[in-house]
Each structure stands twice: as structure tokens, then as C-alpha cells.
Structure 1
């Protein structure tokens, strides 16, 4: 048996969108189950996101500390952001987020992993990149606002972040997945064997 996620779509008999926000919305579908019953499923509709494990030559990861209101915590995270428009190239979006949040650019990009953050209640898909060959970006710094105005930036050793994840001290989904994926890749075929930065992404198709 091949262990691989596969497309599937159960029949929807009715759908509503009771809430529409600035970037996301909530949808209610009436879904036919395998036994013929029809159940209601409420979920958040999300444009998709990108995130970046920016790894420097000293094996440190660029991280940000940001207030997240839904969980009432300041979380250490990796640079991340929404896909601004449907079909947006995820690599360019990731490069934009790294520039805006940390004023950093990278010479080498790879796809680290693709994940659904909470598939039981949201259709958000995230592509996490590995960025290496870091340097200061040119030009003026992006002017931060709202939660980002209070954001802290640091470079933390990869091993220290991994210990924090396993100790239950770090909780951000993309940071957890990204850090552990780097360690897994190193223990396997190596970072250079990761997918190229423009690898297809069926969850959020894009044009190169």
C-alpha cells in the first residue's frame, strides 16, 4: 500500500457562506456521507499561506516573536504570510514576506514541505520553504503596523529550537513543522535533495 494523500470529493447538496471577512470566510456545506446521510460541515475558507525557514551559515534560524490574539500569546514564529491573490507564485510571496518581516534576502530556495494546518476545520494550505545564503536586503525597511509593529526578530540555533519544540515551549505550527522537517531532511537524503522552489503545489496551483 502506498502511503500518500489523494484527491477526493464527496457530494455537496447545498452550500452557504454565512460570514465573509477581509481575507477569509466561513462556509457551510451539506455533505453526503458514505452511508447516504447528509451532514453539515462548517469550515474556514482560506487563500493559502507561505512560510520560510531562513537558515544562516551558523545554523541559526531567523525567528519572529509576535502577539497572536486568538491564543492570547506571543509566539516565536518563522516569517510567513498570506497568498495575496489567487494563483500567486508562492516563491515570490515567500521572498516578499522574508523581506517585509526581516529585511533579509536569500540566494538559495527549496521547498521544505507542504501542509494543511487544520484540515478538520479550515482549508488553509501552507508551503514552507527553506532559504539559505542569507544577507541584508537592499533599500528601506518595510514599515510595520498593527501586531507587527511590536514584533521582535532573532536568530536562534536550529538545535535550540528543536529542543524547545519537543519541550512544549514553542507552538507555532509552521515553526514546529519547519524545524523538524529540516532535521529530518538532514538525517535522510540531505537538504540539497529537497524539491526545487518552483515545484508544483496542487493545493494552490500557480503560474511560474
Structure 2
């Protein structure tokens, strides 16, 4: 029987490959007017993909098959990690990473197509995200390989469910295939950074254009009223 709270290795593994988004997320949001979670503006997601990364920590080999979904503001929407640790420690863990402001007792529900949902219990929260986890079973992996879509649902502070769909296309190839090497991940991250920076600049220009249009409209209205 596995413990409810897993080792620090599994927590560290959750950030292998996916951590590249975290460092700039808050600064990017500050540079994106009107893109905050409470602004009422729907976030535009950046297309993600399943991939596997592996590393060695001490006497342990760690592999993480993961999918990270972020907004074009770099705000984390949801990440899913299938972590396998072998060596001195042997663990298999499935993790969902969601934004903060969640109802903790509700956990996170992971549902594949029309199957019965699996509940992941929260184990830790950081400043910008919370991690929920459960034992990774062969049954769950099999369902993911056969499935089309996974829905990851957390409950926000308004007690409303936030279902996030994640495609399972490409999962089997990533899970069964070779891990990506560091240079491939770095190249992928550079491309994503460039795309996000361009989107942020376009968003800033649209915001400024809308502000200028509103000012011009107000000015014309004031002149008409004075005549």
C-alpha cells in the first residue's frame, strides 16, 4: 500500500521539463494587461503535446511522461505528470498540477472518455500552483492508451468545477518511446518562448489600440456635446 504523501523525488519530478514556464509566469502576466484570472477575459491556450523526460537523482532513475497546458500569458492552466521512480526508491505516481485558489478537500478528478473518474488528493501547494496525486496504476495507463480525451477537473474558490480537456493523442508514443534529450527540450522551449513573446506583443498592441480608440471616441463625443 502506497503512502498518501509521496517522496520529495516525485515532487521534484513534476517540474522536470515543465518548470521552464514557472519562472516567467508572474512577470509575463504583469506585462499582459487584462489577462489576469479575475479579469473575466478567457485565456487563450498554447497547443501542448505529450512528451517524456528522464533524469537521474542520486541512486534513482526518474521518468516523467507529461502534458503541460499553459495560456498565451504563460499562466499555468493544468499539467498532468506520470512519474515513475526506480532504484533506491520505487514509486509510480500520477500528478495533476493546477492553479491555486482550489477547494482542497474536493481533490482533482481525472476522467478518461466515459470511464469512472479517478480522484487525486492534494499533497502540496506552492505560491503559483497546487499538486494533487495518486498511485499510477496499470489500469489507468491502459485507459489512457485506449482513450481519446482526458478531463482534469478541480473546484475553484467559488466552488465551481473547472474541467480542462487534455488530448490523449500522442500519449502512447510518448509513454512507450524514448525520452527527449536536453537539447531537444531546450530547442522546443526557445520556440515556445518566441511564440509567446510575439503573442504578448500582439496582445499589447491590440490593448493600446483599443484604449486609443476609446479616447478618440470620448473626445469626439465631448466636442459634439459642446456645439
Return the TM-score normalized by structure 1: 0.28
Q: Which has the larger radius of gyration?
A: 2
**Which structure has greater strand proportion?**
1
TM-score normalized with structure 2 length: 0.26
- The structure where helix makes up a greater share of residues is 2
Instruction: For CA contacts below 8 A with separation 6 or more, give which structure has more relative contact order.
Output: 1
